[in-house]
Amino acid sequence: MITTYHNHSSWSDGAASIREMALAAKAAGAKEFGISDHLVAGPRPFFLESRAWSMGYNLLESYVADALSVKAELDSPEFRVRVGVEADYFPETYQGLNRMLAKLPLDYVIGAVHFAGDFPIDASAGYWQRLSPLERNAVWYEYVRRVDECADRLDCNFLAHLDLAKIYRVEPLAECITKLKALLRRCAEKGLCIEINTAGYDKPCGERYPSPVLLETAVEAGVGILVNADAHKPEQITRHFEKAYAALDALGVTHQPTFEKRQRFEVIRNA
């Protein structure tokens, strides 16, 4: 059963409408498609770059209405349309964000971290190149700390691209990996899922998120795992899914989570 929940439309930084993305997912053989446009709103104005790839709070209700209209048109027992959002965690604003999201008819929320303080994790390699080795380590530490807080504080259903900070081949210290492993064990206890994000294969790191060692830890801990493409255009909807599913097969994973009205369900992956 193919599901694809991490997808973006022209409401944020995608290249197509929600309807076009949903139709592409259906054509690719997905049984469930979810839209999850970016919602990034920090405690103060962030980089112009971030405002270019995120919708503002003022657009959130219109975005959900558009997604629900696509759902009403295309949803069927054979092809389910789910409505979600990829919400960035900021320690200063998460409480208001939780209250806002709770009022919306969402099927799921993806918890994400794209900023370590004011540092834009995946904006461009140039940001990292200007840092000293010690500064790079400090960014990794702050990134992991915020992902850890996101798991505890943001009312989300799964975490996005768990080790995103490796995107430009800046490897974490062993201590960061240890902290992420501990986080995964807590996720299992909380019922919080993660994704295999296949977009990493097309990034400079050339590797899915999370890394093999973190994926193994997640499976051993019993964390629910989705496969997502982080698609920004229709042709990306199921990119590299065969690699992700092969990794899950090798680890003996037989079930996968799905979401409806913020509730988690387990389905047999190969059914």
Q: Is the dihedral of CA 114, 139, 236, 250 positive or negative?
A: negative
**What does DSSP assign to residue 124?**
-
Q: How many CB atoms lie within 10 A of CB 249?
A: 12
What distance in Å separates the CA atoms of residue 6 and residue 227, rounded to the nearest whole number?
A: 9
pLDDT at 118: 87
Q: Token digits for 61?
A: 């209700």
Domains of the chain, CATH where assigned = 3-268 (3.20.20.140)
pLDDT at 140: 98
| Global pTM value | 0.96
Q: Digits of tens for pLDDT over the chain (271 positions)?
A: 899 999 999 999 999 999 999 999 999 999 999 999 999 977 765 544 456 788 888 899 999 999 999 999 999 999 999 999 999 999 999 999 999 999 999 999 999 999 998 899 999 999 999 999 999 999 999 999 999 999 999 999 999 999 999 999 999 999 999 999 999 999 999 999 999 999 999 999 999 999 999 999 999 999 999 999 999 999 999 999 999 999 999 999 999 999 999 999 999 887 6
